[in-house]
A and B are shown apart, each in its own frame.
Chain A
């Protein structure tokens, strides 16, 4: 770790092959992100982790640093743009935090608090997305999907099952499961799969848990997401 770059003026050491966000997390620094998870190959789709590297915008989850690189992250310009991305994610799905059992454990909600998103700003899409409750132990609530593909990557790369995939293009992109019926019960999904525990929002839900963890004891009740750069989310 001889090389360093600066993140908002702080010197950050990095190893060969590390990306900017990996080095930042290793150094205890927070760069907002949703589709990035250090256990998986970067996907670069949510763009929340966009930083300015030597004056040029780039996704910090895919960009490797250069020696002496000047990286800006916590700036008004970038946070304003991140907030707009969050607002678009909120209106694109049906994110009803007040009655969502993931509230307090949700990275989307926690990131919105972190970036002081005060309203959705845009008109809500209110898409019609019925839940898939066919599996005896897990439920899929597609209303909350942000297309991060973490479940896709976990099922494919760790579980070796390919239970999940993203289908469609552009605004019609959506999460599907690998069964002719389209139902989770007809896949080989299991609660022991890595894919069952990586959803950063409230799509893949273990049934009959609900609000077992009281308010005040949920992951982001205790610390804001910036204080836990890659949190282990309770109930995930």
Chain B
């Protein structure tokens, strides 16, 4: 239904409404909506307007620099890029199996990242919509408004995030853009003092995380009609799961399911991701559109992130989060939950899981060990995959005999969700804008749908040299004199 809204047949006669920038998300994006005289929606697009290019300028740099350099893609989830790159480069130094201390320190860093990012997204960015209403007073619809009306909720959100940042500081050296993971292992373990500092707070953090799950769960129970239907669309979904089928956000194998929850593929070694996934380029966005090769571009797009992961795994290893996962599954029933607002619930279950994992790791003496590095036979290619806060993150590198990077491919979490986010905003446009006079409150409904995915738009654009472009030369009367276009294979065509 919504695919027809990607491109209007006659855009020239339509009114253009633009949301620019989309607010309370990471990075810069905009939404364009084309409406006719009767406010019928003809076209809706989420555009990503940033351009980065890390895949290109990492070429020619020494591989050991990469985990620190590529994390500069992002100030919100640098740890995810840091770890995905390190995992890929473990294959270059032959460290297929890390030392227990290295693996647990990296996991601790990662769960700190999941905790802080999920807290930031839910409390700072999305809770204003959920607590006050999508079309409530815009001047109050922000974290300051939450702090005034719900001071305990706002305070907990801030302290949860702060704790996650402290975990990162102790494992990576800095709260943002640290250096903890290196190809083959880590460069530090925890001191007793650092461990004890984190142990002091972790029980409170677990308790607050569970309260956060209940807060969102109650919203779904109190207003199931809204939460089940808002922007809802059916989609395939994908994530890594642990070798035992349980939730594992740090390492595992790729599993995909169709919209009914049936497994499409399972147990796929992510070193072979390129046999599974391809990316389509469209001429109106800097962000590519990944799809499953076996299903093609039309049917092969899929969703990643918390909503996928909580429903893709067979169980969660930590007890409190597992109870919540079962409640979530019972609420959604036989079919998987596809509603975008379900992302928030799933995200809070993952935050609880991250808090419980941190607690487990802090009680494991391996995190204070001194065997930090492993190595083995030198390789020249490696893929690293991790479940970043927003979804599956793929880093792929090739390195030459002089230790310089010759190829880099990044498929970032938000990129996987490109088609899904477009589907969501088209559904919301049809549900809420169709036939209505456009207001700020109605447009915020579009943003609420985007925010549910917690997109990080700055990470997601890398198509340097491959972007299809069209340049039009017009005269003063607006008549087209000539055009020049570049296709996605790089060929250039001029028409006069």
Contacts and interface: CB of A to CB of B under 8 A. Distances in A.
Interface of A: 98-101, 130-131, 133-134, 139, 205, 207-216
Chain A to chain B: the 6 pairs with minimum beta-carbon distance, closest first: A215-B173, A210-B64, A99-B69, A133-B402, A211-B179, A214-B188
26 contacts: A98-B69, A98-B72, A98-B177, A99-B65, A100-B65, A101-B64, A101-B65, A101-B68, A131-B60, A131-B61, A131-B62, A131-B404, A133-B62, A133-B402, A139-B62, A205-B62, A207-B62, A207-B403, A210-B183, A211-B67, A211-B182, A214-B173, A214-B180, A215-B172, A215-B173, A216-B173
Interface residues of A, dominant DSSP: loop
Given A98-B68, A99-B68, A139-B62, 15 more contacts: A98-B69, A98-B177, A99-B65, A101-B64, A101-B68, A131-B60, A133-B402, A133-B403, A133-B404, A139-B403, A208-B64, A210-B65, A211-B64, A211-B67, A215-B173
B54 to A, nearest CB: 11
Contacts of A131: 60-62, 404
Interface string B464-477: 00000000000000
B403 A211 contact: no
Contacts of A134: 402
Interface residues of B, number: 24
Nearest to A135: B402
Interface residues of B, dominant DSSP: loop
Interface string B47-70: 000000000000011101101110
Given A98-B177, A99-B69, A211 B404 contact: no
Interface of B: 60-62, 64-65, 67-69, 72, 93, 172-174, 177-180, 182-183, 187-188, 402-404
Nearest to B177: A98
A202 to B, nearest CB: 10
A208 B187 contact: no
Nearest to B172: A215
B404 A210 contact: no
Nearest to A221: B173
Given A99-B72, A215-B179, A130 B65 contact: no
Contacts of B68: 98-99, 101, 210-211
A130 B60 contact: yes
Contacts of A212: 182, 187
A163 B181 CA distance: 35
A128 B81 CA distance: 27
A83 to B, nearest CB: 25
B188 to A, nearest CB: 4
Nearest to B68: A99
A213 B187 contact: yes
Contacts of B173: 214-216
Contacts of A207: 62, 64, 403
A213 B93 CA distance: 18
Contacts of B188: 214
Nearest to B178: A215
Nearest to B183: A210
A134 B64 CA distance: 16
Contacts of B177: 98
A213 B178 CA distance: 12
A216 B403 CA distance: 27
